[in-house]
């Protein structure tokens, strides 16, 4: 029981946010304990979109696992595919050609850009600015066109296979990507004009949802959300995979740890992604786009782990093999799940409307959390 | 005292300016409608062209003599992660009196297909491809189960 200044007795009460709430971006149910409008506790309830992807992997052959990971974090599906492929390639001890490495890195960064563009649009929409949604999707359309032409699909691309890529890049790939870069370099300052410097947006995000560096580390908050709290966790820097060791880029860090810092880190990451693509797009080395592997892949007995940096944070793939055609156990360490666990820490003491801003800035993709 | 008054007015100034910068961006597109890239689907269905590699539903190629290349080897069936493809085979006796395996029905369950495209490289004779058709909606669920080989079609000569 709390007492307000008026002397009236108040009670804490519970409210359900979701599973069908537009700002949760999917079927996430949050059980809020409230005192008036102030959040006392947030308890996420999961399981509404559980499809048992990890269990399905146990019956599938290794080649077939990859298209399931498209459906986890669908906004960074190419990076998910790559994580599984890298784990399998590590187990098989096949060396990728330079061409594969560079193409995979370029498409990784394009995926990260498209994911951040969608996040930017949706974040504006959550906070009441529909315009940003339309503008974010406008620029994302050009990237999905590149994907559609080269990979064959716009969202669930399934372009990686163990041992390389499904097809070589389309002849138009380089031209289109360069066109996109010149286009987007002009449009990215518009994002700042529309949202970053907007006074309403700033007041709704600055100082909201603070997460300290210690909390970020102890909850395992990775990706842009962790880096906004000053936690240096970029797997691309820590354990360079593919062609990340040969490109020059900064790890964006911020110390503020509030919603606005998380927003700023993502915007700065878009600039970094653009510069990574620019460094690689002109000199894609010649070579094979596939390294021959057996038709039915059998991994040697053992345990294999590979981590990559998706648009949301660190994705880990852990494969336990018994030497058969399908794995004994597959475990995905998904970034969204860990980030969601820190929600209580971030949201306590703020208002319900701030919870929407916090949920937006930690960039939740519910199928990634539930798998 | 003076500082708080100054802050009050400078806050108003920055707020109005930030809103106007945003309005400038949106206003630009009001007067430059050519920069808007919206496509008017379904009005543009006739000229809408998908990319070559686009993965729509699986189709079997037939030539003008109603002949296809499928030998019924079930490689696509094995490669499929979801059990989408089901091949019902039959035996044909050719002129030399030898028994030869042919397909009776190549059943494709579109409702189970995830368009992953693993069946296409698995096919040794390039009999199936993924079409550019993306409008899969039907009113009856049974229409999603399709037989891909056309009625009366045969296997092409020389395909083994």
Q: Which residue out of B10, B20, B55, B122 would a mutagenesis test of the A interface target, given it has the greatest number of A Cβ atoms within 10 Å?
A: B55
pLDDT value of position B71: 82
pLDDT value of position A5: 64
What 8-state DSSP symbol labels residue A97?
P
- Secondary structure of A115-168 as H, E, C letters: HHHHHHHHHHHHCCCHHHHHHHHHHHHHHHHHHHHHCCCCCCCCCEECCEECCC
Q: Which tens digits make up the pLDDT trace of A298-342?
A: 888 889 999 999 888 899 999 998 888 889 999 999 888 888 888
* Residue B25 to residue A190, Cβ atoms within 8 A: yes
Asked if residues A143 and A136 have their Cβ atoms less than 8 Å apart, the reply is no
Asked if residues A25 and A119 have their Cβ atoms less than 8 Å apart, the reply is no
Chain B: give the shortest CA distance to residue A133, in Å.
13
* Residue A194 to residue B19, Cβ atoms within 8 A: no
Produce one character per residue of A9-37: b if its CB has 16 or more CB atoms within 10 Å, e if not. eeeeeeeebbbebebbbbbbbbebebeee
* Residue A67 to residue B19, Cβ atoms within 8 A: no
Task: For residue B116, list chain A residues with Cβ-Cβ distance below 8 A.
Answer: 67, 70, 156, 158
Q: Name the pLDDT band for B94 (thresholds 50, 70, 90).
A: confident
**Residue B88 β-bridge partners:** B105
Q: Name the pLDDT band for A1 (thresholds 50, 70, 90).
A: very low
The reply to whether A64 touches chain B by the CB within 8 Å rule is: yes
Nearest to B51 among A64, A131, A148 (CB): A148
A225: pLDDT strictly greater than 60: yes
* Residue B54 to residue A68, Cβ atoms within 8 A: no
Chain A: give the shortest CA distance to residue B16, in Å.
8
Q: Among 3.30.70.3270, 1.20.1280.50, 3.40.50.2300, 3.30.1280.10, what is the CATH number of B58-155?
A: 3.30.70.3270
A3: pLDDT strictly greater than 60: no
Q: Which tens digits make up the pLDDT trace of B43-78?
A: 888 888 888 888 888 888 888 888 888 888 888 888
- Searching chain B, which residue's CA lies closest to the CA of residue A64? B81
Domains in chain A with CATH codes: 47-370 (1.10.645.10)
Q: Which tens digits make up the pLDDT trace of A227-250?
A: 888 888 888 888 888 888 888 888
The reply to whether A149 touches chain B by the CB within 8 Å rule is: yes
Q: Which tens digits make up the pLDDT trace of A142-188?
A: 889 888 888 888 888 888 888 888 888 888 888 889 999 998 898 88
Task: For residue B81, list chain A residues with Cβ-Cβ distance below 8 A.
Answer: 60-61, 64, 67-68
């Amino acid at each position: 029981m709390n007492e307000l200044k008026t002397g009236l007795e108040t009670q804490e009460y519970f409210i359900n946010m979701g599973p069908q709430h537009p700002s949760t971006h999917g079927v996430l149910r949050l059980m809020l304990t409230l005192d008036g409008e102030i959040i006392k506790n947030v308890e996420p309830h999961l399981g509404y979109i559980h499809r048992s992807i990890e269990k399905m992997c146990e019956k599938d052959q290794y080649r077939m696992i990859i298209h399931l990971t498209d459906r986890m974090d669908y906004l960074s599906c190419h990076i998910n595919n790559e994580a599984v492929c890298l784990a399998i390639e590590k187990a098989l001890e096949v060396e990728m050609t330079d061409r594969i490495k560079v193409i995979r890195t370029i498409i990784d960064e394009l995926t990260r850009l498209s994911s951040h563009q969608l996040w930017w649009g949706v974040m504006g929409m959550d906070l009441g600015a529909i315009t940003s949604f339309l503008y974010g999707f406008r620029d994302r359309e050009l990237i999905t066109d590149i994907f559609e032409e080269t990979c064959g699909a716009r969202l669930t691309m399934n372009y990686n296979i163990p041992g390389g890529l499904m097809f070589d890049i389309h002849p138009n790939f380089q031209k289109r990507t360069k066109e996109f870069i010149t286009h987007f370099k002009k449009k990215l300052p518009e994002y700042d004009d529309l949202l970053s410097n907007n006074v309403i947006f700033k007041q709704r995000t600055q100082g909201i949802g603070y997460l300290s560096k210690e909390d970020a580390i102890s909850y395992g908050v990775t990706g842009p959300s962790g880096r906004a709290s000053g936690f240096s966790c970029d797997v691309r820097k820590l354990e360079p995979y593919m062609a990340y060791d040969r490109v020059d880029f900064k790890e964006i860090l911020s110390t503020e740890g509030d919603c606005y810092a998380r927003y700023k880190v993502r915007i700065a990451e878009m600039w970094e992604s653009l510069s990574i693509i620019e460094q690689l797009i002109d000199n894609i080395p010649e070579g094979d786009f596939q390294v021959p592997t057996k038709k039915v892949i059998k991994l040697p007995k053992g345990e294999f782990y590979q981590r990559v940096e998706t648009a949301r944070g660190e994705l880990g793939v852990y494969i336990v093999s018994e030497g058969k055609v399908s794995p004994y156990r597959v475990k995905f360490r998904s970034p969204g799940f860990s980030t969601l666990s820190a929600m209580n820490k971030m949201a306590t003491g703020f208002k319900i409307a701030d919870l929407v801003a916090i949920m937006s800035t930690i960039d939740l993709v519910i199928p990634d959390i539930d798998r | 005292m003076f500082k708080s008054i100054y802050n009050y007015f400078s806050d108003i100034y920055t707020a109005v300016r930030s809103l106007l910068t945003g309005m400038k961006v949106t206003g630009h597109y009001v007067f430059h409608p050519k920069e808007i890239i919206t496509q008017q689907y379904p009005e543009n269905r006739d000229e809408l062209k998908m990319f070559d590699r686009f993965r729509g539903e699986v189709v079997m190629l037939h030539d003008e003599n109603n002949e296809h290349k499928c030998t019924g080897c079930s490689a696509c069936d094995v490669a499929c992660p979801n059990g989408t493809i089901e091949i019902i085979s039959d035996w044909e006796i050719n002129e030399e009196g030898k028994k030869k395996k042919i397909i009776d029905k190549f059943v494709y369950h579109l409702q189970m297909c995830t368009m992953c495209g693993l069946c296409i490289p698995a096919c040794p004779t390039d009999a199936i491809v993924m079409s550019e058709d993306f409008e899969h909606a039907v009113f009856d669920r049974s229409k999603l189960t399709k037989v891909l080989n056309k009625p009366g079609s045969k296997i092409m000569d020389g395909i083994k």
